[in-house]
Amino acid sequence: MVVGELVQEYDVVVIGGGPGGYHAAIRAAQLGRSVVIIEKEKLGGVCLHSGCIPSKVLAAAAAKLHAIRNSSLFGILTGEVEFDLAGLTGHKNKVIEQLHAGVAALCRENRIEVVYGSAYFLQEDRIAVESGDHYQVFQYKNAIIATGSSPAIPEGIICDGEQIFTGRSITSIQVVPEKLLVYGSNYIALETALSFKQFGADVTIILDGRKSDFSFDASINRELERILKKHGIKVVKDATLQKAMVENEKVEIFLQTEKEALNLQGSHLCVSLAPKPNLEELGLDRIGVELTEEGYINIDEQCRTSKQNVFAIGDVTSGPPLAVKAIKQGKTAAETIAGQTAEADLNLLPMIVHTIPPIATAGLTEAEAISEGYEIEASQFPLATNGYAAIHNQRDGFVKVVLDKKNDILLGVHIFGFGAVELISAGTIAMEMAARDEDLTFPHYPHPSVNEALLEAVEAIKGRAIHLAFPKRKEKVKS
């Protein structure tokens, strides 16, 4: 630092303006702290500009296309349906611009300063920011690291944004691929596959890292295999991507399985793997922030790092790279800084996938519950027998619950089907409150609605579900 350099002082410096960062900043400002956000690119971060929001715009368009193509069941005759990617791109960009403007307005209203540039720690209470030739120094009482993550790319693969894409960059593709190869097994890979299949692409998913299946509950994996086959999406398992070559506007990929080498050809390739945390440029070694063995920032339940006045949230910390995690951690860090009692417990993070139909899960799978030593009971209720699902011709999927057999406490909820994204919150809240089966069967459920599928899934544990032809067991009647 140059002697005599002007130092700006803030109570809280937030490095990164993504969902976690701006939630942390606004919450800290609400609690009376002076706050500055240092953002390298755009407010809203990857989630708003190339992740959550644009990918869900594509998924929403795919769902609408699917619905329109099946609208004749409702007496709605549309003729041949055409899809215009350019039109969808225009809508996507408009949504992003509106939400970006909204985040900027919230920061202004909360008197949060926003500075653009690359940040790095100088010492335990100072951060430098560089933007071109411009250099600033900020002194802070507390800092929150929210720098997010970058796509992980296999060695030797070059994502050129023309034929080979990441799960983020493919949201800006200019053409519908003739034949799309998707390498990955996370929610982005699934959403990409289902969306572009509806847009007209021939799609193949290659599970990464020689995985033999997706990471959901076994019941969802089985149904997912059926649904992908129903949509005409091919799945390659137990393979590792070795190399990808682009020639004459075609992509050829080389895979290695346990038994043989394979090669597949397509017009485009999308690589969607677990991202890597953005930490390299922060100078964490200067202030002694400790990392985990996997390379994430080590934090406690208040999101505090090994340095008392430095916090970390989101993708730079261990756990699923989900915005919901970053948002909760951001608020927790801000409230802890303000002296409030706060905690970020990630055990019941809901995870959603906007496939057709959607997937939503929270809590333990059957296998996880057994491995943790629980004696369990599990049941599932098929949406094929739910009246509201029948009305909408959305019969695929089910609601599954996992309970602790010893005390009837709910351990996991796994939903695959119509209404899953909205319904999962009921399961999450129930588990947060350590609900027993009777807590879920006692309330009234609106009729007709998909909510009733959750009720009957729980009732099925003890053979009380009305709309199951073969109850798990008959209830004993006392004389």
Contact 177, 267 (CB under 8 A): yes
Strands (E), 58-117: 113-116
The single residue of 66, 100, 414, 447 carrying the catalytic annotation is: 447
Q: Residue 407 burial by CB count (10 A; 0-12/13-18/19+): exposed, middle or buried? A: exposed
Peptide bond into 357 cis (omega under 30): yes
The whole-angstrom separation of Cα 150 and Cα 372 is 32
The whole-angstrom separation of Cα 301 and Cα 127 is 25
The whole-angstrom separation of Cα 56 and Cα 36 is 30
Q: Is 352 helix (H, G, I), strand (E, B) or coil?
A: strand
Helix spans in 110-199 (H): 187-199
Strands (E), 175-238: 179-183, 202-206, 234-236
**Which amino acid belongs to residue 37?**
I
Active site residue 66: no
What values do phi and psi take at 411, rounded to 5?
-110, -30
**Per the structure block, which two tokens stand in for 316?**
């730079």
- Please identify every residue annotated as catalytic: 447
